[in-house]
Amino acid sequence: MMMELGFEVFALLFMAAFVAAFIDAIAGGGGLITIPALLMTGMPPAMALGTNKLQAFGGVLSASAYFLRKKAVDLKSFWFILLMIFIGGLLGALVIQRLDPGFIKMLLPFLILAIGLYFYLPLNWAQMIARIVYPMPPLP
């Protein structure tokens, strides 16, 4: 599906992507900016989520390369985590394509708000919630 957007919309999307990349580089969470910006253009939710994920991939790739070069990552853990990310991404892409776009549009504001609150909470609260949701200890 090809969308036709004016120069002003492209300029606003560029600024949103720039701010999101800056935030991602510092703390993560740039999708909290890019997803609403993409949805405001009238882009279907599945396409907005996929576009956001593709845009974020560059930052993840460069960060991974940096940490691998610095030997700050255990390679055994890295390959396992990479496999889990691939499987999760594949399953997420399959599920999002099968969900009703109206349902996704209704659900996204709540998800974005919940993720925003998670980032806003003090670190000790965020760690406590993470321990409840993901009880395994962090990798070294």
Kindly report the number of other CB atoms within 10 A of residue 31's CB atom: 20
Q: Does residue 138 fall inside a structural domain?
A: no
Residue 31 structural domain: 7-133
| Angle CA 21–66–134, to nearest 5 | 75
Q: Does residue 2 fall inside a structural domain?
A: no
pLDDT at 134: 61
Q: Does residue 66 fall inside a structural domain?
A: yes
Q: Does residue 140 fall inside a structural domain?
A: no
Q: Does residue 96 fall inside a structural domain?
A: yes
pLDDT at 66: 86
Task: Evaluate if pTM is beyond 0.75.
Answer: no
Q: CA 96, 115, 110, 13: dihedral to nearest 10 degrees?
A: -70
Tens digit of each residue's pLDDT (9 = 90 or more) over 97-123: 899 989 988 998 898 888 888 777 766
Q: Does residue 52 fall inside a structural domain?
A: yes
Reading the block at residue 9, the tokens are 């919309």
Q: Quick one: average pLDDT of 65-71?
A: 85
